[in-house]
A and B are shown apart, each in its own frame.
Chain A
Amino acid sequence: MNWPLYEVFIRGRRGLNHVHVGSLHAPDDEMALRNARDLYTRRNEGVSIWVVRAKHIAASSPDEKDPFFAPSGDKVYRHPTFYEIPDEVPGI
């Protein structure tokens, strides 16, 4: 018997994103949340937990990483440093 694998995400404090912390096995969503609480927040490490079945996560593949991320590589104009502003202009 093998319970499904869940990935666990924790919000450490209010104002922060949920961050992936690891995984666990559980028979259903509710048990996954309870197990995640016991496993990953024994010392108040979180204020909110997400669990999601690992099989429901779609991930980009490392083999295709160069073409996949290439479209953003040549768009330097998306960065503020692309623009020349004279030093004497304040506050920009």
Chain B
Amino acid sequence: MTGSFEEIIARDQRIEPRDEMPDGYRATMIRQISQHAHSEIIGMQPEGTWITRAPSLRRKAILLAKVQDEAGHGLYLYSAAETLGVDREDLTERLISGKQKYSSIFNYPALTFADVGVIGWLVDGAAICNQVPLCRSSYGPYARAMIRICKEESFHQRQGYELLMTMMRGTDGQRRMVRDATDRWWWPSLMMFGPPDAESPNTAQSLAWRVKRHTNDELRQRFVDLAVPQAEALGVTLPDPVLRWNEERGRYDFGEVDWTEFKQVIAGNGPCNAQRIAQRRAAHEDGAWVREAAEAYAAKEAVA
């Protein structure tokens, strides 16, 4: 009644943990879900530095809730990855030893409080473009985690945009901060969709398995089309001299991403790669006593 892996995929139904699946599919899902989980966890860091320096209690509460959501996203995704037979401890180890990657975007620093707003607007905005189609990914636990995540992301983007609108109504110095942060985050945000289709060898297989629903370039275009009117409404200019509306295509034309920079950041040479991993490792090691104490307490209670 449920049929083979190929039949389930052809009917656009979901693969569940105990179903048979090709080794390649399992390996692809483990890699994609764990890298996604790592990205959420490392993604707490750039903004997280601003929690103690948020300019008001309101902004601090919002930022704290947002960063806590990102921790939650990481945990939903580790939970989905574990259904494929990997171990969470092992995934953490692979992250802090640099064996597994996370999104290149989080290797850039958040230099001012305007960066918090721009990250919400552009980085979470790009994440939403990537993640909405993943709610229909063929692997059931991943798709369900994405539905939960997408519901929470819209708060992230809106709080960021609202923060920026507030700053744009403020002083010249605040407007300068918004423009500067936009300039710095625009191109790295476009890189979040991954290499151009011509250089993305796994895309065809991922589309066939319905792990992905759109190519990198399709999603990048969709993001640009959404972001340009938002930038206009905000009163900032995106740092791309060739960006313009193409009447014929009904979409925006935009410039070429600096793929050399992208490759450098992926290879570990971005502005903050070493710092991000060092901080994650320190958090893990500094938390060891908590894990040990909780385990000792559980063992004592089990005996009593």
Query: Most chain-A CB neighbours within 10 Å: which of B2, B75, B80, B144?
Result: B75
Q: Which of B108-116, B163-171, B178-186, B294-302 contacts A (4 or more CB under 8 A)?
A: B294-302
**Closest chain B residue to A20 by CB distance?**
B144
Alpha-carbon distance between A42 and B89 when the two chains are bound, in angstroms:
25
Contact with A along B137-157 (1 / 0, CB 8 A): 000010011001000100000
Known contacts A2-B89, A27-B297; decide if A69 and B1 are in contact (CB<8 Å).
yes
In this assembly, does B88 line the interface, its C-beta being within 8 Å of a C-beta of chain A? yes
Contact with B along A12-55 (1 / 0, CB 8 A): 00000000011111011001000000110011000000000000
Alpha-carbon distance between A91 and B102 when the two chains are bound, in angstroms:
61
Verify B80–A22 contact, CB threshold 8 A.
Answer: yes
In this assembly, does B69 line the interface, its C-beta being within 8 Å of a C-beta of chain A? yes
Alpha-carbon distance between A22 and B301 when the two chains are bound, in angstroms:
26
In this assembly, does A62 line the interface, its C-beta being within 8 Å of a C-beta of chain B? yes
In this assembly, does B87 line the interface, its C-beta being within 8 Å of a C-beta of chain A? yes
Verify A27–B18 contact, CB threshold 8 A.
Answer: no
Alpha-carbon distance between A69 and B76 when the two chains are bound, in angstroms:
31
Known contacts A27-B295, A31-B294, A62-B20; decide if A2 and B1 are in contact (CB<8 Å).
no
Chain A min CB distance to B146 (Å)? 12
Contact residues, A38-92 vs B (CB, 8 A)? 38-39, 42-43, 59, 61-63, 65-66, 69
Chain B residues within 8 Å of A39, by CB: 72, 75-76
Interface residues on A, range: 20 to 34
Alpha-carbon distance between A5 and B83 when the two chains are bound, in angstroms:
11
Known contacts A1-B292, A3-B291, A27-B297; decide if A62 and B69 are in contact (CB<8 Å).
no
Verify B20–A3 contact, CB threshold 8 A.
Answer: no
Known contacts A1-B292, A24-B79; decide if A62 and B19 are in contact (CB<8 Å).
yes
Chain B min CB distance to A86 (Å)? 34
Chain A residues within 8 Å of B295, by CB: 1, 3, 27
**Closest chain A residue to B90 by CB distance?**
A2
Contact with A along B268-295 (1 / 0, CB 8 A): 0000000000000000000000011011
Verify B294–A62 contact, CB threshold 8 A.
Answer: no
| Other A-B pairs, 12, CB within 8 Å; known A2-B87, A31-B294, A63-B20 | A1-B89, A21-B148, A22-B144, A23-B82, A27-B291, A28-B294, A31-B298, A39-B72, A39-B75, A42-B65, A42-B68, A62-B20
